[in-house]
Structure 1
C-alpha cells in the first residue's frame, strides 16, 4: 500500500513538473507592450534584412511561418493579401522561417527560395539561422503573428497570435484578428483583442 502511495506521489510530481515547464515556456518571449529588439536575417535573395531598413514603416507584421506546415501553407495567400493591404499603409509583412532544417529538410534555405518564387512572395522571407530570433519573440507555432508599432521607444508589441479564426477556409472567417488589430493601431484606437492562441505546427 505504501509503495502504491509513493508511486502516486511520484506521478503527481512528474505531472506538476511538466505543467510548470509548460507554463514557463508559454511565458517566455515578448508580451503586449514590450519593445522588440531588431534583428538581421538573410532573405531568400541573400540580402540581410533588419526592421531598421524600413525607415518609412509605421509598424510591422512579423510572421513566423515555413514551407512545410499545412497550417502555414493554408495561410500563405492570406499573408500575401495582408502584405498587399498594409504595406502601402506602412505596415509590411516580415516573414521568418524559424525551423531547424536538420529536423525539417523541407524548410532549408534552398527550399525557401523555391517556395517564395512559386508563391510570388511580395515580402521578405527570412531564415532564422541558428534559431536565435523566434525564442526572443516567444513564437511556438507556424504561423505565429506579432504586430509591432514603431514608436519613439522602439518597436512595441501590439498584438500576438493567430491571423484569423478559420485556418481551413478563408471564406468562412468570422473574425480577422490581425486586420482588426492593424486597423485599430493605424486609426489610433484601442486594439480590442490583443492576444489569441496561435494555431499551427510546433516549431521544429
Structure 2
C-alpha cells in the first residue's frame, strides 16, 4: 500500500508538471498553421482572415489601449499597414485584454482610441480571451506574421516590431519589415523570432 501511495503521488506530480510545461510552451511556433478566427471589429462587424481573399499574408498584432509600449508603437503599426496592405500583407490588430481586469481596454474605449489615432486596420476584440492563447501571445504588442500557403496561414515570424520601443527614430533593425520584405521576395525570413517587449496580457 505504501509503495502504491508513493507511485500515485509521483504520477500526480508528473501529470501536474506536464500540464505546467504545456501551458508554458503553448502557442504557435514557426511554420505552424494558424487557425482562423472570427472576432468583432470596432465597427461591430465580425472579421476573419478568410475575408481577405487577395491577401498574401497578415501582420497580426496583439495590442491594446492602455499599455505605454502599445501606445508608443501605434504610429509604427499604422505605417506598417499603409506600406504593406497594398502589397498583400494587411495589419490585423487584436486586443487580448480582459476589460474586467483593465477597464481602459473595454470595447467601447477601443472605438475611441481607434478614432483618435485614425487606425487604418481592423481593431478586433478577443472576447473571452480565446485567440491570444492559441497564438501564445504574452505581451502587448506581440506580432505574428502569417503567410498564406496551400496548407493554410503559416507562421513565419513571432516577436517584436523592431529593436527600439522607446524611440522610433533610433530603430536599427526593423524585424517586421525585414520579415515581410523577405516573404514578398520569396526568400527565407532571416530573423524568425525575437523577444516581444511590452505589457503583460491582462487575463
Length-normalised TM-score, structure 2? 0.89
Residue aligning to 2:174: 176
Q: How does 1:119-130 map to 2 (within 5 A)?
A: 119-130=117-128
Equivalent position SS for 1:113: helix
Deviation string for 1:81-116 (max 9, x for gaps)?
000000000000000000000000000000000000
Equivalent residue for 1:62?
60
Deviations 1:153-179 (A, max 9, x none): 000000000000000000000100000
Could you tell me how far apart the structure 2 residues matched to 1:69 and 1:24 are? 27
Q: How many residues align?
A: 186
Shift of residue 190 of structure 1?
Answer: 1.1
Runs of 5+ consecutive residues of structure 1 not aligned to the other structure: 1-16
Query: Aligned residue for 2:99?
Result: 101
Q: Report the equivalent of 2:164.
A: 166
CA distance in 2, matches of 1:161, 1:139: 9
| CA–CA distance in structure 2, aligned partners of residues 62 and 118 of structure 1 | 21
Flag structure 2 segments of 5+ consecutive residues without an equivalent: 1-15
2:69 matched to 1:71?
yes
* TM-score computed with the length of structure 1 as normaliser: 0.89
Q: Give the match for residue 3 of structure 1.
A: none
Alignment partner, residue 42 of structure 2: 44
Match of 1:188 in 2: 186
Pick one of 114, 117, 122 that aligns with 1:116. Answer: 114
Aligned partners of 1:113, 1:68: CA distance in 2, in Å?
Answer: 13
What is the aligned partner in structure 1 of residue 200 from structure 2? 202
Distance 1:134 1:187 in 2: 29
Q: Can you list the C-alpha shifts for 1:54-88, whole angstroms capped at 9, x where unaligned? A: 00000000000000000000000000000000000
